[in-house]
Amino acid sequence: MNQAVHLTNLNGAELSALVESLGEPAYRGRQLFGALYRRRLRSFEEMTDLPKSFRAELAERATASTLTLESRYISEDGTRRYLMKTHDGLPVETVFIPEERRDTICFSSQSGCPLQCDFCLTAKLGLLRTLTAGEIVEQVVFALNDAYGVGIKTPRGTNLVAMGAGEPFLAFESLMRALRIMADPAGLYIVPNRVTVSTAGVVPRIRELAAVPDRPHLAISLAAPTDEQRDVLMPINKKWPLAELLAACKEFELSLKPGERFTFEYVMLDGVNDSDEHARALANLLNRHQLRAKVNLIPHNPADPLPYRPTPPAQVERFKNLLEAKGIQTHVRRPRGRDIYAACGQLAARRPVTNPQEQILHQLS
């Protein structure tokens, strides 16, 4: 176990306190914060504006980075997946998704996941460990550096989504701490309004988030319009069934401020949850609870040994039209990075069959 203080776990004030405890003036704390987040440096050797003696002392007590890159995969659509390892040897996956208007980084909150969603490859890993705030922040720093260059300002700004491996609401403290560290204007300056957290339905945390003033956007993964089916597809439903989940969603909706987003996600599994009846049942369910949230339809991302196939595009469109006819705003999410196991529900430390780009990148890393 690495006992050194992991600096990306600390907020600005804690970093300054650490620096002062080493007998250094407070401004060195701000300098160090800038080195970690504005210049996005991941080792003390690179922080050449700090005195050598201070860097040596820091190196004895602390570490600026703990994740190491194992492999990097680049999809034909430009999506990048990073497979990293924690200091204790567990897989962490992060995905960078280039988009026209604003790029998105999808980070993991846990290594593996304890929830057993039947359509998700990550579930096959089980829970290995919940990640620390520092490990969440580091994923974002790493992806930004890889996509734009070390310390280079992001050209279009960055959106974050907590939709990688793990259930973010089972990593609530790490998640909220990481979001506060990343929101600091003196550092990465990615504010909660740029972040969306997706949950499988941990009801108490939905209520808790409703009371947080400066919070990320919320997305709830539904996958089925009835308890009977959701119990099978997302077993968390046995603990918090639809009525309880949607009551908490209603409370959350009532707490929304202007401009805040709240969405439901619905993975579409061919011949399983994608019929016209399912569409009508879903619309009725949301309307019965008077929820006005938008629905994102996500055609399933297939991967062995998952027993599902994605719904064909024509039926996805039909499903969308049926929801819209019942007054529900609906959007179809385009799959990204399927060929490199980077798409939703595909993160399971997989290595795709040899990809020439990966070989080159291996040599670079």
- The verdict on whether 100 is a catalytic residue reads no
- Residue 343's beta-bridge partner residues? none
Nearer to ligand SF4, 286 or 347 (CB): 347
Strand, coil or helix: 18? helix
Evaluated on CA atoms 358, 362, 363, 365, the torsion sign reads positive
Q: How far is the CB of 93 from ligand SF4 (least distance, A)?
A: 10
Nearer to ligand SF4, 72 or 230 (CB): 230
Distance between CA 198 and CA 221 in Å, rounded? Answer: 7
DSSP assigned state of 253: H
Q: How far is the CB of 202 from ligand SF4 (least distance, A)?
A: 9
Q: How far is the CB of 45 from ligand SF4 (least distance, A)?
A: 36
Nearer to ligand SF4, 158 or 221 (CB): 221
Q: How far is the CB of 244 from ligand SF4 (least distance, A)?
A: 17
Give me the DSSP letters along 68-116.
Answer: EEEEEEE-TTS-EEEEEE-TTS-EEEEEEE--SS-EEEE--SEEE-SS-
Query: Footprint of ligand SF4 on this chain (CB under 6 A)?
Result: 113, 115, 117, 120, 122-123, 165-167, 200, 345
Nearer to ligand SF4, 120 or 171 (CB): 120
- The verdict on whether 120 is a catalytic residue reads no
C-alpha radius of gyration, the chain, whole number: 21
Q: How far is the CB of 132 from ligand SF4 (least distance, A)?
A: 18
Evaluated on CA atoms 251, 252, 253, 259, the torsion sign reads positive
- Of these residues, 24, 93, 138, 167, which one is catalytic? 93
The b/e string for 336-365 (b: 16+ C-beta within 10 A; e otherwise) is bbbbbbbbbbbbbbbeeeebeebeebeeee
- Of these residues, 117, 138, 344, 358, which one is catalytic? 344
**Residues annotated as catalytic (active site), given as ranges:** 93, 344
